[in-house]
Structure 1
Amino acid sequence: MALDTLFRDLRYTLRTLRRDTAFTVFVVLIAALGIGASSTVFSVVNTLILRPLPFAEPEQLVWIANGDTAGLSGQTTQVGHMMDLRERTQSLSAIAGYFAFYGTGDNLLSGTGEPERLSGVPVSDNFFQVLGVQPQLGRFFSAEEVVWNGPGAVVLSDGFWRRRFAADPAIVGTSLTLNAEPHTVVGVLPASFDFGSVFAPGSHFDLYFPFPLAEQTDRWGNTMAMIGRLKPGVTVGQAEAGIRTLGARLTAEHPNRNRFGGHVTPLSERVSGRARLAVWVLAAAVGMVMLIVCANLSNLLLARTASRQKELAVRSALGAGRRRLIAQMLTESLVLAGAGAVLGIALAFAGTQALTQLDAMGIPLLRDVRTDGTALAFTVAMAAIAGILFGLAPAFQARSAAMHDSLKDATRGSTEGRSRRWVRSTLVVSEIAFACVLLVGAGLLVRSLVQVLDVDLGFQPAGAATIRVDPDSRYATREQQDAYIDEVLRRVREIPGLDAAGITEALPLGKNRTWGARAKGVTYERGQAPLAYPRMVSDGYFAAMGIPLIAGRDIAPTDTAATEPVMLVNETMARQLWPGQDPIGKSVLGPCAAERRVVGVVGDVRHLALEQSSGNEMYIPMRQCPDRPSHDLVVRSAMGAAPLASAVRQALKPVAPNLAGNDFRTLQELVDKAVSSRRFTVWLLAAFAGFALVLASLGIYALISYSVNQRRQEIGIRMAIGATTANIQRQIVGQTLVLTGIGVVIGAIAAWALARGMEGLLFEVSASDPRTFLGMLIVLTAVATLAGYLPARRASRIDPMVALRSDG
């Protein structure tokens, strides 16, 4: 019996909706956009926060940091500390690590097809085992391979294996020429393992090398990023307490090492922490959008129900009770929501697919976002809830009415009941309030993005580009490598139209390590010496980058290992180490030499991030340092990127024939990538705010239009007794502004309270920024005025005689 009733309601609903195709299509589209957006953002939340990491027993995995936050060096530790922790920890069953100062494109593949720059990361012997990852082909590293000068071995990522070798299973055991050295492919990782997505968002990794653990690597300072697996029954807090105690003991036992503090957090928290706030802000935003959708559709259905009052009264007269009519109206709203859900799921699939193509944005696990079973269940639940929410008010309006009142053919002249008018007005006010919150949130983030893009970078990205020019195996000795640098610079500087060229081992907005920088003659307590970021650069680097020389001299080609150790410092380091003094001629105890004399001061550069001011930076002549992990050539020219790349490759072909074709980048690309994650969040929230504004304006327009239609007789009478067009328009627009004002006040208070929760996403903008709130007020008032003016103008053109006759 119940099923028969349900099927009858469904058949009746489908017939009714087919008769009003335009209304049905509009409602389904609005519902689909809201449901699709909600499902897409839920997929991000599910992947980043709710779903476990794609490792075995991920709840047992932890991130072990030094406890310091001074750049990447503070998040890592020395190899000696890591080895001792592995042997002596009582709370962790295993500790593994990877070399955190890998470089993008550090590895040149040659000898098989087109030369290609690949990104690889050295990992400890047990890294994959601690994560619980198994190779899909071959094996991981053997004990013989995890030693200094051992046989070259490499594990391939699934993506690289498929792209470069067409998923050939025979790749295991073959030899690849990487950086002019043979490496045997010992294994291929499964497709489910993506190092970059978890540990280095925005980066792709193709290769994994064995990192030999030995005390001698302590000379490199803090280089190892560590993960661990908890022993059964051990909590994260207990593990941290144990690691801190052990770290203090190790620090005391090894005065020659850096201090180790010890900070343990769940690996999932470490991965999601960098983007958690932005994701929750987007989730809150899409939730508000969905509530606006429900309010908007509820208002539309209220208007439609009012126009069907006669039909509903006839059904009531024929025996349909109140519950029966309510069930019928809820069936209609659920059918509309269900149709919206079907289209919304298609939009969600498209949205998540688009997100996976934006993995360079630096958002963790973005490549793993997908519309899975959990997301589909959420979408179905969201559709059901939405259908009930926007169907409740119309359902309760569809009550049985007195036959005498309802069957009167007076729909045009009747006036809307107070309760119905109150419900419709409340829905519109709520739409305005939610739109207000979203506009303020989007406005604050847009202003923050503008502030970020407006910061003084300290260098000039326009007109500059970079390409990796690491010397190959022909340049084995230090003298040969210095000669190579000289030849590279000589050749590129001969290119017509080239303004400047220089080489560095650390481009801005990339990886950063710190070294102790002790001013000569000053005594520091252990661990209290100033830290500085070392940059090894050649002559011409500052001109190529557009970094101003403030005082002293530039690095010269004659600054070699055979001459006095010198350095340049930035303004921040000059102020910190020698406040109120001239830094030129002062000495620093730093890297690559026991003592270096300061010969120049350059401007501050935002090397770490656009939002982060410069720290202490010391620029060391490249020819005076033997440890040069990479060589990035920077050139400055007014010619376009494509002809410049071609000219540089042609000029360097005799000395560097294997330059990768995919490695030429403009400095502006580096800046764009650094801000891409923030820009993504900003524009997504701005899109939600724009959608909310459109829906709110439609809600205002629909409400005022319906009100005008209900008051045609009243307006006709007023015009017949002398009311002017302007009087009518002012009254109706005034009604609009009253509703808008109430919504803005409520929304502004909510926005003021909620904006404090997103302060971590703001940059040099207050959460209560008056210009943002004023802009929101102006935009909402303008849009609401326009939405109210259109039906007001139509009302003022009503012919009084026609309006009066229509009631007869």
Structure 2
Amino acid sequence: MERLLNDLRYAWRSLRNAPGFVGVAVLTLALGIGANSAVFSVVKGVLLTPPPFARPEQLVHLSNNFDAFGLKEVSTSLQEYREYVTHARAFASLAAFRPDDVTLTGTESPRRFRVVIATASFLTTLGVAPVLGRDFTAEEETPGRDKVVLLTDAAWRTHFAKDPEVLGRTLRLDGESRTVVGVLPPGVAYPEGTELVLPFAPTPAQQEASRRGNRFLSVLARLKPGVTVDAARADLVRLGNEREPDVVSQYREAGWSISVKTLEEQVVGGVRETLWLLWGAVGFVLLVACSSVANLLLARAVARSREVSIRAALGAGRGRLVAQFLTESVVLSLVAGALGLLLALWGTDALVAMVGEGLPRAHGVRLDVPSVLFTLAVSLFTGVLFGLVPALQASRADLHVAMREGSRSTGGHRTGRLRAALVVAQVSLALVLLVGAGLFVKSFLALQGVEAGFRSEGVLTGQLALPTVTYPDRARQSAFLRALLSRLQGLPGVESAGLTNVLPLGGAMDNSFDIEGRARQPGELWKAVEFRAVTQGYLRALRVPLRQGRLLEDADGPDAPWAVVINRTCANIFWPNGDAVGHRMKLHGQDMQWATVVGVVEDLREWGLDAPVRPAAYYALSQLPSGYLGLAVRAKSGDPESLRAQVEAEVRAVDGDLPLFDVRPLTHRMDEATGPRRLSALLMGLFAAGALLLAALGLSGVIAFSVAQRTRELGIRMALGAARGDVLRLVLGQGLRLSLTGVAVGLVLSLGLSRLLGSLLYGVSADDPWTFGGVALLLTGVALGASWLPARRATRVDPIIALRAD
């Protein structure tokens, strides 16, 4: 212990006398450690922290695929769910649920809550129980007896002030009184963001056996002990093949298959690869930082060679010297770790803010004790990593050479080779990061260049939900639509306004359909059509280009013959001769009518900018009503925020108990759709820029060190007639050789690692030659620039002074 304390005191005195070196080393390491800690906090919160459910590895999600229609992970019908409950052998329990929103009234102002409507087996399947009160009962899955509600812990704390007397309290939700019967444990909110849980009480229409195609439920299941995902999938395939022969035939024609995904894959599958990639990238940045500091330590060791030799002459063994140098490097890394921790505090919040709602389990991301311990471990590891080689090198003291008057170093050539190898490693790692950043940036730019099919600038959007108690039929819903749109259109700053059941980029409902007078050939299957219900002003508000015919009009009312507008892709697939207008089509399902195609519009990217365009149909909202509405209002001024207060006031004027929620410009929804790719491009670019800067500084330092070591040689060359240009080319050639070696190694590594990026890119191949070539040229140019300053200094060596130096 005494020896350790002595080493620490000596390290402190030694480092205190080199403030410039300490400042550069600490800042370099702090950036690498802080970035690693911030990304680790996100990875831990999203990927490494198990959900608060009993044995979460047993939880799976069930859904359907209909490959013939191009439909993946389609929801389940009530009839299919009941078949699973009754006949499936692989599950210990199953639950059906669907997310929704409800409005709380009877308070100072209406408040919107995110809810999940679930069967009584929902909490049992998750493996949790209320901390206050009780769970639902099977009897409460009956209409009329379902007027109860469970609160999540977050809702209990935020909206009910953690009131212990909340049990038995009556809440007015969507016009119906419900009694609070329980409160869930902290952290239990599934799907994420859920605030209330309501019992699922199916209506008589939903329970009809013929409604097999009415798929509106998500299904969660718990595997029996020892049952694998593959075994569960095989069990459900068996069950599917035991259905009625006509149903089995229909499913086979549709290319039906069952999807069984673990809860982990369902929740974080969309971001897992990206987060692991970012953590790997920030690890590369730390390696580059360690290489830079190791280079600084090697240069410092050369300057201290006389000191080391004297200590060796006084009896210090090599192990003692290595311990002393390692102590100094660990002290540096711990100081850098403390600073990195402060950077990580800011960086973690910044990362979560940049991703927004696109990051699952974002509420669990924080710089907690495990993250601090990780930072400490990284600091100690980096201290040993970048300090060991310089310590071993510095401890090889040659007493006779070091004590000789004017000697510059011991082992200068060996040290030079080590520093050169570190620079090659820095350049190669920087190139790998630059290639990754280049691919992500090109991918993001390609996505930004995708034509969405509508103009998002100047449009304010929001959402409404019409409670069935207040708006029980089509007549009342239509009256609300007319009143609201009339008031909105009368605002002086509004150019156009419309309503839809789903706003852009929010997906759409898919359905099969028939075309009048066109029979399917045996075995012929048509792609499903996306359908949306819109008012006459909706497509105008989005400025969707009309390609043929007309848009929906006020005359397309509830009592008029049904009309439909289709997109260009639908017209090209089913009416390739360009004669879609005037033909009739009918969606499959009860209460559907034949609708005349009255117009063809440009394709809208309803599922996202990176998703392929599908056939789409836009029906009149008055003819195909929906209680869940999206509002789109275009401002004449081009500033959608200028309409926010007026639009909210008009909604309150029509129905004071109806909140307008999720109000934001359409451009924000566009940004959210591209958020994950923007974040990947931004972070990879920042990491690559940092690595490039460190590599350039490292190369410049090595060249400067080499020039200092070769001062006598350069003086002799110039004394014998070498021109300054010859010296300049000599030094630049050394830098170019190091950089080209690093570029070559980096290109090989990049070609291997880029294969991992294929699924994360859009519009660019993982081995894009322009990116690889451009990055190689950029890095070579930066390397030459970094070598220029020490090369210029070399040309100014005075031969007389250089020859006197030794």
Query: 1:120 offset after TM fit, Å?
Result: 2.1
Distance 1:242 1:535, change over 3 A: same
CA contact (8 A) 1:98 1:226 kept: yes
Give 2:223's aligned amino acid: L
**Residue of structure 1 equivalent to 2:25:** 27
CA contact (8 A) 2:461 2:633 kept: yes
CA contact (8 A) 2:43 2:275 kept: yes
What is the aligned counterpart of 1:577 among 574, 592, 600?
Answer: 574
Query: 1:361 offset after TM fit, Å?
Result: 4.0
What is the aligned counterpart of 2:497 among 480, 501, 510?
Answer: 501
Deviation per residue, 1:299-347 (Å, 9 max, x gap) = 1110000100000000111111222222222222222223323333343
**Residue of structure 2 equivalent to 1:551:** 548
Query: 1:507 offset after TM fit, Å?
Result: 0.8
Query: 1:604 offset after TM fit, Å?
Result: 0.6
The residue matched to 1:533 in structure 2 has which SS?
A: strand
Query: 1:445 offset after TM fit, Å?
Result: 0.3
The residue matched to 1:605 in structure 2 has which SS?
A: coil
Write out aligned runs for 1:498-647 (5 A): 498-520=494-516, 521-523=518-520, 528-590=525-587, 592-626=591-625, 628-639=626-637, 640-647=639-646
Distance 1:151 1:526, change over 3 A: farther
**Residue of structure 1 equivalent to 2:750:** 751
Distance 1:38 1:643, change over 3 A: closer
What is the aligned counterpart of 1:305 among 290, 295, 301?
Answer: 301
Higher mean alpha-carbon deviation, 33-42 vs 720-729, is at 720-729
Give 2:549's aligned amino acid: G
Query: 1:172 offset after TM fit, Å?
Result: 2.6
**Residue of structure 2 equivalent to 1:422:** 417
**Residue of structure 2 equivalent to 1:450:** 445
Query: 1:357 offset after TM fit, Å?
Result: 4.3
**Residue of structure 2 equivalent to 1:352:** 348
- The answer to whether the aligner puts 1:364 opposite 2:360 as a matched pair is yes
RMSD between superposed Cα atoms in Å: 2.5
Query: 1:670 offset after TM fit, Å?
Result: 0.9
Inter-partner Cα distance in structure 2 for 1:235 and 1:393: 48
Query: 1:50 offset after TM fit, Å?
Result: 3.5
**Residue of structure 1 equivalent to 2:433:** 438
Inter-partner Cα distance in structure 1 for 2:444 and 2:235: 42
Distance 1:756 1:255, change over 3 A: closer
Inter-partner Cα distance in structure 1 for 2:267 and 2:64: 17
- The answer to whether the aligner puts 1:326 opposite 2:306 as a matched pair is no
Query: 1:581 offset after TM fit, Å?
Result: 4.6
Give 2:740's aligned amino acid: G
**Residue of structure 2 equivalent to 1:98:** 97
- The answer to whether the aligner puts 1:715 opposite 2:714 as a matched pair is yes
Write out aligned runs for 1:446-485 (5 A): 446-471=441-466, 474-485=470-481
Inter-partner Cα distance in structure 2 for 1:313 and 1:86: 80
Give 1:538's aligned amino acid: T
Inter-partner Cα distance in structure 1 for 2:412 and 2:325: 20
Identity score, percent:
38
The residue matched to 2:80 in structure 1 has which SS?
A: helix
Query: 1:662 offset after TM fit, Å?
Result: 4.9
**Residue of structure 1 equivalent to 2:199:** 210
**Residue of structure 2 equivalent to 1:62:** 60
Give 2:195's aligned amino acid: D
Give 1:42's aligned amino acid: F
**Residue of structure 2 equivalent to 1:789:** 788
Give 1:60's aligned amino acid: Q
Higher mean alpha-carbon deviation, 13-22 vs 377-386, is at 377-386
CA contact (8 A) 1:466 1:634 kept: yes
The residue matched to 1:534 in structure 2 has which SS?
A: strand
Query: 1:762 offset after TM fit, Å?
Result: 0.6
Deviation per residue, 1:101-147 (Å, 9 max, x gap) = x3xxx322332123233322222221122111222333332334322
- The answer to whether the aligner puts 1:238 opposite 2:231 as a matched pair is yes
Distance 1:380 1:415, change over 3 A: closer
Deviation per residue, 1:349-405 (Å, 9 max, x gap) = 443344444563412223212344544444343333322221122122123433221
TM-score (norm 1): 0.93
For structure 2, list consecutive stretches of 5 or more residues without a partner in the other structure. Answer: none
Give 2:235's aligned amino acid: G
Distance 1:666 1:256, change over 3 A: farther
The residue matched to 1:195 in structure 2 has which SS?
A: coil
Inter-partner Cα distance in structure 2 for 1:465 and 1:524: 46
Higher mean alpha-carbon deviation, 343-352 vs 510-519, is at 343-352
Inter-partner Cα distance in structure 1 for 2:593 and 2:533: 16
The residue matched to 2:141 in structure 1 has which SS?
A: coil
Inter-partner Cα distance in structure 2 for 1:670 and 1:395: 54
Deviation per residue, 1:651-673 (Å, 9 max, x gap) = 44431334536542211111111
The residue matched to 1:98 in structure 2 has which SS?
A: strand
Distance 1:215 1:464, change over 3 A: same
The residue matched to 2:770 in structure 1 has which SS?
A: helix
Query: 1:284 offset after TM fit, Å?
Result: 1.7
Give 1:94's aligned amino acid: S
Distance 1:650 1:10, change over 3 A: closer
CA contact (8 A) 2:456 2:667 kept: yes
Inter-partner Cα distance in structure 1 for 2:757 and 2:52: 29
CA contact (8 A) 2:711 2:802 kept: yes
Query: 1:527 offset after TM fit, Å?
Result: 9.7
Distance 1:195 1:526, change over 3 A: farther
Query: 1:792 offset after TM fit, Å?
Result: 1.9
Distance 1:709 1:114, change over 3 A: farther
Inter-partner Cα distance in structure 2 for 1:306 and 1:755: 39
**Residue of structure 2 equivalent to 1:806:** 805
Higher mean alpha-carbon deviation, 293-302 vs 206-215, is at 206-215
Query: 1:246 offset after TM fit, Å?
Result: 0.9
What is the aligned counterpart of 2:274 among 275, 278, 297?
Answer: 278
Write out aligned runs for 1:76-155 (5 A): 76-99=75-98, 102=100, 106-155=101-150
The residue matched to 1:184 in structure 2 has which SS?
A: strand
Higher mean alpha-carbon deviation, 669-678 vs 647-656, is at 647-656
**Residue of structure 2 equivalent to 1:200:** none
**Residue of structure 1 equivalent to 2:677:** 678
CA contact (8 A) 2:542 2:634 kept: yes
Give 1:232's aligned amino acid: P
Deviation per residue, 1:145-168 (Å, 9 max, x gap) = 322344433222322332222222
The residue matched to 2:242 in structure 1 has which SS?
A: helix
CA contact (8 A) 2:189 2:195 kept: no
Query: 1:523 offset after TM fit, Å?
Result: 2.3
Deviation per residue, 1:771-792 (Å, 9 max, x gap) = 2123312321232222111222
Distance 1:220 1:291, change over 3 A: same
Query: 1:254 offset after TM fit, Å?
Result: 4.8
Inter-partner Cα distance in structure 1 for 2:239 and 2:500: 38
**Residue of structure 2 equivalent to 1:701:** 700
- The answer to whether the aligner puts 1:287 opposite 2:287 as a matched pair is no
CA contact (8 A) 2:466 2:658 kept: no
Inter-partner Cα distance in structure 2 for 1:274 and 1:178: 33
Query: 1:434 offset after TM fit, Å?
Result: 0.3
Give 1:207's aligned amino acid: L
Give 2:57's aligned amino acid: E
**Residue of structure 2 equivalent to 1:201:** none
Inter-partner Cα distance in structure 1 for 2:95 and 2:686: 42
Higher mean alpha-carbon deviation, 75-84 vs 422-431, is at 75-84
CA contact (8 A) 1:80 1:214 kept: no
